[in-house]
Each structure stands twice: as C-alpha cells, then as structure tokens.
A and B are shown apart, each in its own frame.
Chain A
Amino acid sequence: MNGPNTSQFQNPLEENTRSSKIADPCIVVIFGATGDLTARKLVPALYNLAKEGQLPAHFACVGFARRSKSHEEFRKEMEEAVSQFSRTKPIDPDLWQNFSEQLFYHQSEFDHDEGYDSLKTMLKDLDQKFGTKGNRVFYLSTQPSFFPLVIEKLSKHQLIYNVHEVQEKWSRVIIEKPFGHDLASAKSLQNDISKHLDESQIYRIDHYLGKETVQNLLVFRFSNPIFESSWNSHHVDSVQITVSEEIGIGTRGRFWEEAGMLRDIVQNHMMQLLSLTAMEAPINLKADSIRDEKFKVMECIRPFDLENLDHSIVRGQYGPGYINGMSVSGYREEQNVAPDSSVETYVALKLHIDNWRWAGVPFYLRAGKRLPKRTTEIAVIFKDAPGYLFKNVSKKIEPNVLVIRIQPDEGISLKANCKIPGLSTVFQPVKMDFQYGSYFGSTPPEAYERLICDCMSGDSTLFARIDEVLASWRLFDPVIHCWEKTKASDFPNYAAGSWGPKEADELLSQDGYGWRLI
C-alpha cells in the first residue's frame, strides 16, 4: 500500500495485504547518524527489516553527520551497534555482509550548501547503482532546532520534491519528537517546514505507535464486539494509562532541564495511547480515516481549569531512593541538572472526554521516572456488577479490569471473579492472560522497524498528523506556562523506587479511586 506520488505501476506479483507490504525502492538518509538513536534503534531496525525480508531489494542507507569518517568506519560502527542492540542476536554474518554494502556515510555540516550538493550527487549515483528510482526518506535524528534548516536545505537542493509537480518519485521526511516545545513553537515549526513539504510528506514519529500492542489495540477493539460493546461510559468506570520507567534521566540532564515529563512523554506518547483507547471506529483502514478519529478525541478533551489546576494535574520530581535494591541519587543530583531545578520527572493527570461515548468517565494518566518498574499499560476498569447480588458474601467483589500491556511482556489480561471451590461462596480474582511471547513464540518487531517500513511504503497511519499534535499542544500549553511561572516548592516530592508523590494518590482519592498497583 503506497501513498501518493508513487509510480502508477501496480506490480501484479505484489500481494495487497498489510502484513506483507513491500516498500518501494528508496534511499534512507539519516541526519545525525553518529547519534545514539541511529546506533540503538535505526540501523538495527533496518537490519532486522532486511532479515525479515521487509526491506526493498533496491535499497541504500546514507548516514549524514558532521564528524568525518569513511564508509568503512561507519559500517564497522554500525556492525558493533547492531550486534549490541538488535533484537535478534547474534548478527548473521552473511546478511550483514550484504546489508553493510548498502550502508554509506556522508560528512557535512547541516548548514553547508556544498554538503547538500555533494549529497545530491551521491544519491544520484546510488540510484544508478541500487535502482532506488529517486525515492527518498530523510530521517531527521537531530536536535529539533535543526529541522527547519535541514528541510530548507533539502528543498533548496531539490532533494525533496514538490508533490504537485513530481509524480514519478517521492520524498518523505521523518521527524523525531518533540515537535515543538509548546504550541507557539510547534506552529512555528509547522509553518517553516510546510513551506517546503506537503503534509503527506511529513512523518512525525511517535515510536509508541509502532509497538505491536498499540497496533493490536485497534484490532482488539474493532474485531471483538464482545469488548467493544462495553467500551463506553455505560460499562467503563475509569481508565488508567501508565508510562513508568525505573531509569532516571541518565546523562540527558541538559535535555531534560529543557523538556520535562509533560513535554517528553505526556504530550505525545500518552496522548496517542489515549486517543487510540478512546477513538470511534474509523470508516476504513486508511491513514487519514484513523487519524481523523484520533483527532476527534483530542478535540473532545475538556481543557484544564487553570484556577484549580491541582485538582486535575500533579507534577513530581524524584529524590534519592532505591532501585533494584541499589541506592540512587535524586534528580537534582544528576549531571547537568540545576540543584534547585523545578523540572518535573513525574506527571499525573485526570482528563474527561466530553463526547457521547465517554461522558463522565475519568481518564487517569501518569508518567514518571525512577518508579519501581518499567511498565506501559492501559487499564480499563469496568463498573461494579449491578444489584450487588453477593452483598452478604464476606469480601468486596473486585471490578473487571482489562489491561493492555504495551511494554514489557506485551500482552492483554482480563481480571475476573471466580468462586473458590467449596461449600461457601467466597470470591477470588483471577487473571486471564495473553502474552505475545508465549503465544507467538518470538518477540514482536521493534517499533522503529514497523514505522520505517510504513514510511517507505507510504503508510502514515502510525505517524502523528499536525492537527493531532497541535490539539495536544493546545491542551497542555496553558499548564506548561503555568508551571513555568510557579516554581514547585516541594520538590523533590517522591523517593526513587516509590510510585510517585502522595498528591498523585490524592488526585484519585478525591474521586474515590486509587491507582492500580502494577
């Protein structure tokens, strides 16, 4: 399934199913190729796509960065990276041999015109050698501040094509998050890049959307009427979405001081998870049909009451504590972090989606660093059984909970109540559990594999559209500005290794709820 601006030729040998889509021949150019993301995620993803036979036969990859190195040096570095970070190990030497011959390196500063000219020449040569037909994916794995510059240069040097003028080949740009750091900057960035790119050429990556269980959410919801029929305010009591990490900020102090949890995780990943959980069924599986429904969810979210912000959103910052039995320092003691920093490493919030499906159902979201474990999950908590038939039984009956585990241990579980065998009626909650690894015998593809493959195929379903992004910024912009004006006087307010500040518990307990223990 290829997007616009691709060749009109429909290969009769291609099977037109999503699961076996074949990407068009293309060259992937990675800007910022000496960075962490390229080594940890991008090249290992390309390698695994090659291993799975999902990479087009006519393919090449060029790393573009400022440091000087040869093709061989770059290939060697990438071999080490793939050996370390690939989900499939050990590296297949034959496969690597073939794959590495398609890897190249181009050195230039991002603002040097000569660098783009020489890149253009190089890409033309590679087109000839590998038959990549002029199709391009430009992956901007750089600081966001370079996005407008790089795109402008690419446009100036006709490395990206005008979709209305060029039909026989295509060019797409993948942009890493964050897309702006607030509403104004997001709009500004969009203005800058839309001078050179059509929306159909822009692929805003949110790697959560590439995760197998996130994609399974749509399949699960819309192919199982037994669940979809109760996926609404008549049956759902509340929804909790958690993105929890046990690691701290590591060496990313400088980045984190500018970003914070709200920008890094909540505004993008969590809103994507929320919109997929809450959306209506799309009319078809086309990218825009799905993204239309996601956008509608964003538009229905009730804005925060800035007069009573504490009743809806809580921020936290980790102090010293214990992770895996080891003592760890607090956020303010991390490298490149101000000793009086007010940046949040934890956010908990309550949202309401004011539409027919979700009216009255609170959505509780939390994201944090240095929490007890690494987990991302969506928990749909159903209402209590009506009538309370068993009210004279000793124990309180637990509500049904459907949990979609995004990571780790991808899978789905359903908590139900059973009777303990015996003469009296005593309840015990049990879990019906489905784990991807157990059922399918192997770990699912990494998110970046799916996303890069989709971009090469022209499928933008799993990429964020600008209206979704701006809607999310509109929601959080006032909070960001409010927090920037008011320093948090109680930071740090949770110990590393605990489940967050007590204010986050109070956010739920004020409504009679509590956070799920995960």
Chain B
Amino acid sequence: MIAAEEKNIEIANIEQTFSKFKNLQDKNQIHACLFNLVVYAVGERRIQFLKDIVRMIVERFPCRIFFIETPCSSQSSESYLTVYATQERISKGEMFILCDKIEIKSSESYLERIPFIILPHLIPDLPIFLLWGQDPTTDVNVFPYLKPYATRLVFDAQSNHDLQQFCHQILTQKKSYSMEVMDINWALTSGWRRIFAQIFDTEPKIESLTHAKEIRIYYCRKDVQWMHQYEIQSIYLQGWLASKFNWTFKNKETSEEKIRLHYEHSQGNVMIDLIPQHSEELNPGAILNIEVHAANGLYYHMFRPKHASNVRVEISSSEKCELPCSVSLPNLRGFLREIFYQKINENYFKMIETIESIDWS
C-alpha cells in the first residue's frame, strides 16, 4: 500500500520529497531500510512481474527501491524520463513499516542518464542488490555503471529467450562479476534440491540415484504474459543432478507433451522427462511432482498434495512400500533469504555448464 507519492518530481528534489514524507509520518509508522534494491524492468510484461516480486521483497525485507521501467525497443519511439517518489507502507500488526521507492520511467534515449540519477541516492553502507529483469550480459546502458557498486546481482533466465546463449554468457562473464550473483530460477529450485539431499541421505541411496534409470519432472504450465520459458526450473534441476553425478548428455527429443533428455552414466543410461501440467494454484514454471526410478529398483514419488508447500515422498518397490514422509519447501521468506543472502556456489555454475551444451530451442 502506498503511504505517500509524488509524481513527475524534479530529480534534484528526490531527497527533499522523502524528507517531506518523513515529516508526515504518524507515530505508529517506522521508516526502515536494510538494503538498496535496484530493479530493472524492460517491457510491460516484465514490469508487472517484477513489481509483484518487489512487493513480496518489501513485505519481508524493508529496503530502498529504485524501480527502472523502460519499454522494449520495439515499442514507443517517444522520448521521456520521469521520476516518481513513493513511500510504500507495509502493515506489521499495529505498526507500519515505510520504505522509500524511486520509480524512474525512461525511454531508451535517456537510459544512459539513469545510473547518474541512481548513484547519489543509494543509501551508503548498506548492500546494493540489483534485480535485473533484462539480460545483464547484454545491457550497456545501466548495468555496467552500477556493477562496480553492487553487492549482488539477481537475474532471471527468462530475460533471454535463448537459454543456451544465456548460459554461455553467464559462464563467459563469470569472472568479470565482482559481486555475488544469484539466478532466481536457481533459488526457486533450492527447495527441491534440499529435498533430494534429505531423501537420498545415505551412500547406497546416493549410489542408486547416481545410476537412476528414469526421472520425470512435472512442472506447471499456466500461460502468463510475462513468461515464455516454463521449463527452466525443471531444466535447472535435472541439470543439477546431471552435473552432480557426471552424467554425459546424449540427445534430446522435444514434443508437445514433453522434453526428453538422454544421459549416460557408468551403469547405463538415464532418461529424464520434463512434462508440463496445468495447475491453477501454483506459479507458472514451478515444479509440481518428481518421479525417480532408481537403480536399486526403488521408485520415489515426490509430489505436492493439493499443491501445498510441503512435499510428500512415497518410496516403494515391487515388494514393499516405505512409510511416506513430508518435507517442507521453503516459504516465501526462505526464498527471499536465498535470493539475497545465500551465496551461490560452484554447483550453480557446474549446472549451467551442463545445460549450456544442450540446444534448448
């Protein structure tokens, strides 16, 4: 909810405007800021998606937000640069937390000015997180100027229509990033990766997974404007498994019903299916269920009953069934902590290396 807003303000008056807002604060309102969050959104589709993410962030981690909106190059040829100063208000019981937000709407012709608008208003001594809705590897106007100051770059593979090219760029530019990086889709798979680690928690179980025969990953396919690659999280998860167990990619088959990947390991082949399914309750791209046919004949069925936030795991063989168990997926706060505070490790880059070799088009 917006506590205060001024539109089309003079850039030189940004801090004055926030001071004015501060003077209007009620006693039960606290102004808070844990970090600077710079969000770059290109195109109408991504703008709304990122606004929703920012809303989720601010409700849990108050911060100063710089929200940059710019149209896709194919859209409007009009030149404009406008700045809004807003104070977001988050309810915490009887108290309200207030966060400052600077919205910059710019046409392509003014993009080069944006870093110079942002720089003076970053809160010193606090982390600076960049949430990039655009492919950072190809951005020349804004990202290169903010890069030296950023604590962490959070990006989204959705920003590039070509996943293979995206992976290639990430690997090429990995060394040039002085800040930490975090891929949203990698963070979104963290819960499932943790589930795998919890379920396959002994050497024999790991052995059986290493030489699995078949894996099926069901993901949510629910058409939305801002997404065009619904299978990315699934691709990441299977890529993670492949990189962990050094599976060698053989080939890929694509049909309307699924994407089928064949890998080879020391005891034969593993076939991985990525299967879209519709779900009203879950976000598009979210992993719904996973089935694993392990080498030792055990069948693992990991599913979300009624698409809940916990995953039920059923393990069975032709002779017996084990008692099912439930494992929780991280909630939204956990996801955001992963995004902003967990270090991305080499597993991510190894996974990217694995999937980079595959043409996903």
Residues of chain A touching chain B, judged by Cβ–Cβ distance below 8 Å, are 246, 321-326, 372-373, 394-395, 401, 403, 413, 415, 420, 422, 424, 426-431, 497-499, 505, 516-518
Contact = CB atoms under 8 A, between A and B. Distances in A.
Given A403-B124, A415-B125, A322 B341 contact: no
B116 A321 contact: yes
Contact of A517 (B11, B128, B342, B343): B128
Interface string B108-146: 001011001101111011111000000000000000010
A430 B34 contact: yes
- The residue among B121, B122, B145, B341 with the most chain A CB atoms within 10 A of its own CB is B341
B120 A428 contact: no
A236 B341 CA distance: 27
B116 A498 contact: yes
Please give me the 8 A-B residue pairs with the lowest Cβ-Cβ distance, nearest first: A373-B120, A394-B343, A497-B116, A325-B11, A322-B116, A372-B120, A324-B12, A372-B119
Nearest to A437: B19
17 contacts: A246-B120, A322-B117, A324-B12, A324-B117, A325-B11, A325-B83, A325-B117, A372-B116, A372-B119, A403-B125, A413-B125, A426-B337, A428-B35, A429-B125, A429-B127, A517-B122, A517-B124
B81 interface: yes
A498 B144 CA distance: 13
Contacts of B263: none
A516 B123 CA distance: 11
B100 to A, nearest CB: 14
Interface residues of B, number: 29
A362 B208 CA distance: 58
Given A325-B11, A401-B125, A420-B341, 14 more contacts: A322-B117, A325-B83, A325-B117, A372-B116, A373-B119, A394-B341, A394-B342, A403-B125, A415-B125, A420-B337, A428-B34, A498-B116, A517-B128, A518-B124
A320 B337 CA distance: 41
Given A372-B119, A516-B125, A325 B343 contact: no
Nearest to B149: A517
Contacts of A323: 116
A394 B12 CA distance: 38
Contacts of B337: 420, 422, 424, 426
A442 to B, nearest CB: 14
A428 to B, nearest CB: 6
Contacts of A430: 34
Nearest to A431: B125
Contacts of A413: 125
Contacts of A372: 116, 119-120
- The residue among B34, B125, B127 with the most chain A CB atoms within 10 A of its own CB is B125
Contacts of A517: 122, 124, 128, 149
A394 B145 CA distance: 26
Contact of B341 (A415, A426, A499): A426
Contacts of A424: 337
Contact of A325 (B81, B149, B333, B342): B81
A325 B9 CA distance: 12
Contacts of B35: 428
A426 B116 CA distance: 32
Contact of B126 (A322, A431, A505): A431
Given A413-B125, A415-B125, A431-B126, A395 B341 contact: yes
A322 B145 CA distance: 13
A95 to B, nearest CB: 26
B116 A325 contact: yes
A444 to B, nearest CB: 16
Contacts of A431: 125-126
A499 B126 CA distance: 18
A420 to B, nearest CB: 7
A144 B115 CA distance: 40
B83 to A, nearest CB: 8
Contacts of B116: 321-323, 325, 372, 497-498
Contacts of A422: 333, 337
Contacts of B117: 322, 324-325
Nearest to A413: B125
A424 B343 CA distance: 13
Contacts of A429: 125-127
A231 B337 CA distance: 35
Contacts of A394: 341-343
Contacts of A373: 119-121
B193 to A, nearest CB: 15
- The residue among B34, B116, B117, B342 with the most chain A CB atoms within 10 A of its own CB is B116
Nearest to B104: A325
Contacts of A498: 116, 119, 145
A225 B149 CA distance: 34
A324 B11 contact: yes
Contacts of B341: 394-395, 420, 426-428
A13 B116 CA distance: 57
Contacts of B126: 429, 431
- The residue among A497, A499, A516 with the most chain B CB atoms within 10 A of its own CB is A497
Interface string B77-89: 0000101000000
A323 B119 CA distance: 10
A499 B127 contact: no
- The residue among A325, A415, A429 with the most chain B CB atoms within 10 A of its own CB is A325
A428 B32 CA distance: 14
Given A394-B341, A429-B126, A517-B128, A325 B120 contact: no
Contacts of B11: 324-326
Contacts of B333: 422
- The residue among B120, B128, B149 with the most chain A CB atoms within 10 A of its own CB is B120
A182 to B, nearest CB: 34
A323 B120 CA distance: 9
